[in-house]
Structure 1
Amino acid sequence: MTHCQLQPKHLILSLNTAMTLAYKIKNFKSAHAFAKRLIEMGPKPEVAQKARKVLAACEKNLSNEMELDYDQHNPFDLCAASYTPIYRGKAVVKDPLSGASYLPEYNGQVCRVTKSTKIGADVVGLRISPIQFR
């Protein structure tokens, strides 16, 4: 959620939640990154103070207890089926109606978003010609 194009208020909520959860599971490197981004967003003073505390605590030990499949510096799409990142340069298939991204292993299955289209199908789209209006 922290890399989706959200409104600033919603991004602040997502970053705050991500920072808190990462800190609780001792993923200090991730919590540090979320806290930095949160402070840059200019949240309310109490949220900023909490983020600064987490930032200070994490700087002592920049390591992750659990390894995450997440690279904050590499842009990615989110697979709509597995909710895992599909990093730039990796193979991706799209749903023709919604444009949702999927890992290649989901090619040919029913889209999880529209529940009506086939993932990766080639479609022509709507075609309008003057002959139709005669």
Structure 2
Amino acid sequence: MENLAKDNEKRSCELATDFTHLQLQPIHKSMTLKFALNQIRKILSVCEKNPIDEHSLNYDEYNPFNICAASNVPHLS
């Protein structure tokens, strides 16, 4: 059960990074940024207590990609 929780944490982080590449309408972007700021504050407080890279994420910010609608996994453009 703990491995499943760890996988969900990793996948959640990957989806959050993928989400930064989407072109959203201004109102939706504003809503998601407010939500993200609240989450970042929580994550930052935990990371400051234990500063290690626990997960290796499947994300490359420099390569453009499209997101598969079925699997929510990025495909290189």
TM range (shorter): 0.3 to 0.5
Report 1 or 2 for greater relative contact order, CA contacts < 8 Å, sequence distance ≥ 6. 2
Query: Which structure has the greater CA radius of gyration?
Result: 1
TM-score by length of 1: 0.30
TM-score by length of 2: 0.45
